[in-house]
Structures are given as structure tokens and as C-alpha cells.
Amino acid sequence: MIRETRLVENFLDMVKISSPSKDERAMGDYLIKVLEEIGLEVKEDNAGELNGGNCGNIIGILKAPGKKRLLFSAHMDTVVPCEKVIPVVENGIVKSDGTSILGGDDKGGIASIIEMLRVIKENNLEHPEIVVVFSIAEEVGLLGSKSFDIDSYKVDFGFILDSSGKPGKIVTKAPSAARGTIKIIGKPAHAGISPESGINALTVAAHAITKIKLGRIDLETTSNIGLVSGGQATNIVMPSVVLDYEARSLSNEKLNYLLEETFETFKVVCKEFGAKIEWNIKVEYPGFALEDNEEVIEIVKIACKKLGIASETVSSGGGSDTNIYNSKGIPCVNLAVGMSKVHTLEEYIEIKDLVDLSKILIEIIKG
């Protein structure tokens, strides 16, 4: 039932559409047209307006009164560079020409959802009520899913298509994440005439950094300082420095403890040097953990078994819209799309994986 040529052509059409975070208008218009042509009831919400973007989440509904409601979702935005994506098809693989990302993250997920919908309509397949959400600004903080009013759709389960790896991989656990800045405020002074009258903010930060936990803390927890910025000139004792920090953990308790411990360490060191601290770290999204016997997981496993595709449940170190929907009380899993080397110029996806994922989605709706 899957029409491979059509699936691939749709994917190629979409990756050519530039859709950086908060600038998804062209992609949104394309998807509205496609969903309406298939026969869905289509809406656009105000997520763009709420988050400073030019497009809202695109929502499509394929009704089936009296049946369960299933959510299928993928995000429209991509990382940069994505201004002029030139896809290359070679030996069953789609890649970019090396001057941009490909955008399989997450247009591979979108392509398989669209193919599923087309197959349903063409073959008059029985199906549950389907709610499709193509979200905005996922790459910059899951903003689209945070703004989506999922409660009003009374969804029973959700399948988010946004993981690397082969179709059949089911992400059932993902961490909470906290991000933000730590600003150390010292005191400027002339670096050559009177450095002793100043407080070098970088020195303070360096002493604190030697005392905090960074990198892999344990199997569930990580911590990182990714950016450091500050200073005015080489002849001025650095008056302030800003550290961009993030921490993640599958355990909310461990994450909170790590954040408290890190803050206390910086505070104590700042006091020793007479410096000040501005702590602006917030939990960006909550984690989730589903038991392997939950119905939403069993549905995927059964679908894969029927197709002879190996399935496995795994834990992820990254966040996705799946985190947000689970936090809103909707049991959701993140399904692997087949995307590889995402967020790089070497990104690629195998056509077979797009086909296999589409087949899995069809089996899911057939129940």
C-alpha cells in the first residue's frame, strides 16, 4: 500500500523548504495544503504568536466518531544551515550536497505521517480518530508543543516521530533538562596599574568550576558548560563573565540536587572572592519514563512484529515534544525515523527506513 516514489518525492519537496525555528511559515502553508487535499479538517493555532514566530502549530484531524483518538506528531523546524537544501539521492540514501543540513530531523517523520494518511484514504482503511500535529520551534525549547492545547483534543495515546535510529526503536525514557546562565560579577580595575584592587570574574568562575560536577555524572545525569563570554579589554580586570550551563537527568530528584549543589558551590566561591552571582537556571522541560508494559508501547511492538521488524525500548539523552505531551498526561512514545548524523552537514536518511516507518504507522492505526 505504501507508494515509495510518492513518499520520497514528498520528502524531497519538504527538505527543500527552508524552515528554521520560528520561521516555519512556508512549511506550514505547504502542510496545510497537503492535509486539506488528503481530506483532513485543518487548523492552525496561535503558538507562533505566543513564541515570536510567523507560523503556528498545524493540526489535522481525521475523524472516526466513537473510536480511540491517536496523536501523531513531528516538528516542522530544522536547525541551520537550511536556507538552500539540495537533496541528493544515491544508492537508496537521501543526503544533502554537503553545504547544509538535510532536514530529515524532522521532515522524515512528517513524510511518513503524510504517507500513512494517504494510504488510509486511498484504501478506505478502518482507523481510530487521528489527530496530527506538526509543531513549531521544537529545536529551540519545544515551544510549539508547550503552547499546543492538547487537552482539548482528548487524545488517548501519542506517537511522536523524532528519534534517530532504525524504525522499531521506541524511546520510552528521556531526561528532564535545565538550562540558563550563571553570571559572575567581579570588579573592574586597570590590569597593569592596580590589578589587586579588582576582582577578576573569570578567576572566580574558574575556581568554582574546579569544584562542580561536569560531564557524565552517572548513567542518568549529565552536566555541561557550553559557552563562556565576558571581559572588555586585556588591560581591564574582567568585571563579569557569563557561563551558559545545562544539566539533564532521568531522575528529577538527581537533577534538582545537582542544580542546588552547583548553585551553592558558586555562591560560596563568590563570597570568598567578594564577587556576586546571578543565577538564571530553569528547568526547560520535564522528563518521562514509561513502563514497558504500557499499552502505547505494546501497540508499537505488535505493529513491528506483524511486519517482521525488530523492536526495542530505549532511553534517550535528549528531549523532544514527547516530554511535553507526557507531562500533560498523554502517554506518548518517541519513534525512530531513521535519520542519521542529524544537525550536521553529513546528515542522511535511508529510503528503506522512511518506508518501514510508514508501514509501522499503518499497522498502528489498523490496531
Q: Say if residues 155 and 217 touch (Cβ distance below 8 Å).
A: no
CB atoms under 10 Å from CB of 280, counted, come to 11
Give the integer Cα–Cα distance in Å for 176 and 364: 28
97 SS3 class: coil
Residue 196 grid cell = 589587586
Catalytic annotation, residues? 77, 138
Look at strands 276-285 and 176-185 and give their pairing.
antiparallel
**How is 137-178 classified by DSSP, letter by letter?**
--TTTSHHHHH--GGGGT-SEEEEEEE-S-TTEEEEEE-EEE
φ, ψ of residue 69 in degrees (nearest 5): -110, 125
Specify the DSSP element, H or E, that contains 231.
none
- Residue the block writes with cell 496523536: 71
